[in-house]
Amino acid sequence: MPKVEIYYAQMCGLCHKAMDYFDEHGVEYTSYEVFWRDEQWVDDDNSRAMLKRCGVVDYVPQVFINDEHIEGWKTLSRLIETGEIDRLLGD
């Protein structure tokens, strides 16, 4: 079973599209909520972990599949459209 992790913001529609995709395909994932305020990430454990793994980012979702970083919905949707997501998920 693949290890899928998603850094998301509750108000982010594209984050929910990513999580909906995994839910609809029966892929379990761990989600970490992050908060954006005053043009920066709120300093908490999830934001610090995301920034340590991703470097400087100013948007979510930030997705990891088996520790491979998929930066944003645009990249994830391209993987879905091409079928490359199946390889990453081990299908």
Q: Which domains does the chain have, with CATH numbers?
A: 4-89 (3.40.30.10)
Give the SS3 label for residue 17.
Answer: helix
- Residue 1 above 90 pLDDT? no
Tell how strand 4-8 and strand 30-33 pair up.
parallel
Is the pLDDT at 91 greater than 80? The verdict is: no
pLDDT at 27: 96
Taking the model in full, what pTM does it have? 0.94
pLDDT tens digits, 65-87: 999 999 999 999 999 999 999 99
Residues contacting 68, CB < 8 A, separation 6+: 88
The strands making up 30-33's β-sheet, listed across from edge to edge, are 30-33, 4-8, 62-65, 68-71
Residue 20: predicted pLDDT: 98
Distance CA 14, CA 43 (A): 22
34-61 pLDDT per residue, tens: 999 999 999 999 999 999 999 999 999 9
